[in-house]
Chain A
Amino acid sequence: MAVVEVRDLTKHFGDVVAVDGVDLKSEEGEFLVLLGPSGCGKTTLLRMIAGLEQPTLGEIFLGGENVIGLPPRARRVAMVFQSYALYPHMTVAGNIAFPLKSQGIAPEERSKKVAWAASLFGIDHLLSRRPRQLSGGERQRVALARALVREPTVFLLDEPLSNLDAKLRAAARDDLMEFQRGIGTTAIYVTHDQVEAMGMGDRIAVMNRGKIRQLGTPEEVYHHPADTFVATFLGSPPMNMLETSDFLFGFRPEQLLPDSLDHENGDRAPFTFHVNRVEYLGSERYLYGHIREHDETKVIAMLPATVSLPVEADRDHKFSVARAQIRFFDRDSGLKIPPRELP
């Protein structure tokens, strides 16, 4: 039985369709990431699961029970917010105890649970402090402890790392994963950061304009994008897209390599790559240019530092891509189509 299942979920804000007929099913204990650009409806979807927004249409099941119309407190969900939303006038202990008080749990039981949740996140020594006296990372731990203490059936996380600086973020991400693996509770995680999504997600639901464009493992969404949106949204730099008279095809920048290299797979499609500019980034080189016969489209190639072959700018070079790594899309719908013969 799925922990969280939504069917044909739709949300209108006036004329704006924020979420447009989404079907989604999470698996027991998985870390499911909702990934998409801002305004794609991922946060609205999460808020509907939490019960903070009422859907216009559709159904939500938590642990097999239809929860449409139930207030958040009846859903046994826990949510961690972008700003953490700690109660500034309460101590850390007060913050963690608040959901327990709401449940009417007796004081002795309550302090036991608070101590347990605090020790799990190593914040025992902070219990008497107030949120404003804590660092960003400590606040996140308090927010997680407050979410955990009720032993929810699902964790909903709304970009909880975006308030941390880059250095803290990597550490906080690690903490978060370790904690989720440790307790094994299903988590739904909203982010617009594809690195977070790829690194943390068991599965990723890529969303755009209120719809889920693809649901799959990080490998699937990266290597086998369902459409041109997923192909160009994921990856930095994104997939190169070229147009022919009757279809689109694309390949990842790291697949476009000098033909002169010793390639294991012999079946390669050759391209004449005109390089305009070379960007040296230490661990790799980015080559900006275009493919002959597709002059109007910019193409980026990414050479790892292990390829030491010199590449001069403002010249044509013989490059190639393994045919198995080329993806094909319909010209009109942008959807994935079976491999074609390149012209």
Chain B
Amino acid sequence: MTALAQDRRRYLTDHPGFLAGLFMSPAVLYILALVGFPFVLAIVYSFTDISTGNPQLDFVGWETFRRVIADPVFRQSLWNTFRFAVIANVLVVVFATALAEVLTRDFKGKWLVRFLILLPWVAPVSLATVTWLWTLDSIFSPVDWVLRQVGLITENMYWLGLPDLARTSVVAVQAWRVIPLAAVIVMAGLTAIPTEINDAVAVDGAGTWRRIFQVTIPLLAPIIAVAVLFGVILTISDMSVVYVLTRGGPTNSTQVLSTWAFIKGIEGGALGQGAAVALFLLPVLVGITAVVLRLARRREVM
């Protein structure tokens, strides 16, 4: 009897609420300190005219936002952010799906190819981008050298010096950076398709294209949506690629919101305006996330 009564005693650690709180607290603290605090600070700053020269919190209402929006560079940045993300992620979906299809096949040296494809993802963004900076250099670019040898061009391209070429370069590097992650996600989705489905497709007489477009891609749609979600967030919130390659130039033609916020707020010292530009990203990202998650869920319940 007494032994039984003893066992019935409840310990604090038996309490699920206590344990949940205990285990979650480091993550919560981390998020509060490094995400929550700066986020609140940014909101506060965006309603003031604070700058590095005048670190006073003088509230000016929506004035900062009005000034930011009136700036044509801001509008250029907003438009760039949007189109870079869309074009880069269209490329990401196409190449990642194709790569995943190849990577699930059995062939010699598969592990080496997998490793090489994952490299861009493993390399730190800034380092990888510096490599691209050299690769696209106006004088020493190996890309130009190859093109010259092949006879496609006679003189060097200014990959980062002309607006259209610079935008193309930025989009290409962004896509290059996100493709490995997307390929791995799509690959996971591919391996989750039962072998018997692919066998059935073969016996039912469908060729490769019919299989890919009528069976594989529809079945992968929710997974591709997740890859797109990651890709869009990564490209929109990233500033290192544009900053390292072009600093937003030439003449702001590759400026995006993240670099513009940095240039305005940190380099230009207009903290309030920088914060306002940065906050513009928030509704955009929240909106995209909501749409993509909704799409993914709808595909799941079919």
Contacts and interface: CB of A to CB of B under 8 A. Distances in A.
A85 B205 contact: no
A82 B195 CA distance: 11
Interface in A91-106: 98-99, 101-103
Interface in A139-175: 146, 150
Contact of A88 (B199, B202, B219): B219
B205 A73 contact: yes
Contact of A85 (B197, B207, B302): B197
Interface string B201-220: 01111110010001100110
B17 interface: no
A197 interface: no
Given A83-B196, A89-B302, A102 B202 contact: no
A77 interface: yes
Given A102-B210, A130-B302, A72 B196 contact: no
Contacts of B16: none
> Which residue, of A51, A73, A77, A78, has the highest number of chain B Cβ atoms within 10 A?
A73
B287 interface: no
Given A87-B215, A88-B302, A89-B218, A73 B202 contact: yes
B196 A103 contact: no
A184 to B, nearest CB: 21
Q: Interface residues of B: mostly helix, strand, loop or mixed?
A: helix
Given A87-B215, A89-B302, A102-B210, A82 B205 contact: no
Given A73-B205, A89-B219, A102-B210, A81 B302 contact: no
A47 B195 CA distance: 13
Nearest to B196: A85
A106 to B, nearest CB: 16
A304 interface: no
Interface in B169-215: 194, 196-197, 199-200, 202-207, 210, 214-215
A223 to B, nearest CB: 37
Interface of A: 47, 50-52, 71-73, 77-79, 81-83, 85-89, 98-99, 101-103, 130, 132, 146, 150
Interface of B: 194, 196-197, 199-200, 202-207, 210, 214-215, 218-219, 302
11 contacts: A47-B199, A51-B203, A52-B203, A73-B207, A82-B196, A87-B200, A98-B214, A99-B205, A99-B206, A132-B302, A150-B204
